[in-house]
Structures are given as structure tokens and as C-alpha cells.
Amino acid sequence: MLSNLTKTPGNKGSKKRVGRGGGSGKGFHTTGKGNKGQNARRGHGIPVGFEGGQVPLYKKLPEIRGFKRSYQKKAVVINLYALNVFKEGETVSSQALLEKKLITKQDLSKKIKILGHGELKSKLNFSGVSLSESAKKAIEHA
């Protein structure tokens, strides 16, 4: 059976050391690198992203459809209807939003913005969050 087969001891020979002379067992003159050319040379190498003289893809990408800056932080958006989990008179802050699981720990470093989608059913106090114009109107109305 195939499942009962075992490896024969001494079946696998030692690895051939390339470029160590004729006695190494791996060629003598070219040592497995073929004949001449860039890839046969010592210290050869095509740079990562090299496309044969054409402008590499990574250089073209910023021009195509724009690109996002790594340091640009986006705001965390929360709608008004989600704030109905707070009781009357409570303060809405980033820490309070984290406790109510409306944001994650990663969102604490980001800007938090309240949008005016939905209806607010209780009076709340806001600190450390930014509000959209429609959210301000809805909060004043509540």
C-alpha cells in the first residue's frame, strides 16, 4: 500500500554546491547558469519592478486614478439614529461611543463626525466630536 511506504535510508544525496569547481558535481565552466548573458554574471540581477525599459507599474500608479496618502486620516462617521442608545442628558464623547460599541479602539485616534441621518429621541451633550450642519439642526430641535 502507498500509505505503508517508508523512505530508504541513504536514498537522497547531498545538495550540489554550485560554482565550487569541477569536483562539486554541478558542471564546471557555467555551473548551471547557461552561457554568458546578464544572468550568468556575478552579482547580476534585474531590479525589482524592472519592465525592460518600460516605465514600471509602480511609477505609473500615482498618475492613474489618483492615489491615497498614507498619512491621511479619514473621519469615523456615526449617524444620529445610532445615538438613541444613550439615555437623556448623557455626554457623547469618543470614550462613551467606545463603551457603547459604536466605534472600535482603532477609531479613537481618528476624528469622529456625527451626521444628521435619522432622528434623535433624547437630549444629549456632545464633547470632542464634530457635527454636520444637518446634525446640528436635528440636535437643536431635539
- pLDDT tens digits for 96-116? 999 999 999 988 888 899 998
Nearby residues of 16 by Cβ (< 8 Å), 6 or more positions away: 24, 25, 26
CATH architecture of 76-141: Ribosomal Protein L15; Chain: K; domain 2 (3.100)
Q: Could you state, in order of their start, the residue ranges of all structural domains in the chain?
A: 76-141
Q: In whole angstroms, what is the distance from residue 72 CA to residue 46 CA? A: 34
Q: Taking the CA of residue 8 as centre, how many other CA atoms within 13 Å lie in the half-sphere pointing to its CB?
A: 4
Across the chain, what does the average pLDDT equal?
85
114 with 78: CB under 8 angstroms? Answer: yes
Q: What pTM was computed for the model? A: 0.49
- pLDDT tens digits for 69-79? 777 778 899 99
pLDDT 10s digit of each residue in the chain, 142 long?
Answer: 999 998 888 888 877 887 787 777 777 788 878 888 887 888 877 888 889 889 988 888 766 666 677 777 788 999 999 999 999 888 999 999 999 999 999 888 888 999 989 888 888 899 989 999 998 998 888 8
Q: Is 31 left (phi over 0), alpha (psi -120 to 50) or beta?
A: left
Q: In whole angstroms, what is the distance from residue 55 CA to residue 116 CA? A: 47
Q: In whole angstroms, what is the distance from residue 48 CA to residue 50 CA? A: 6
Q: In whole angstroms, what is the distance from residue 110 CA to residue 119 CA? A: 25
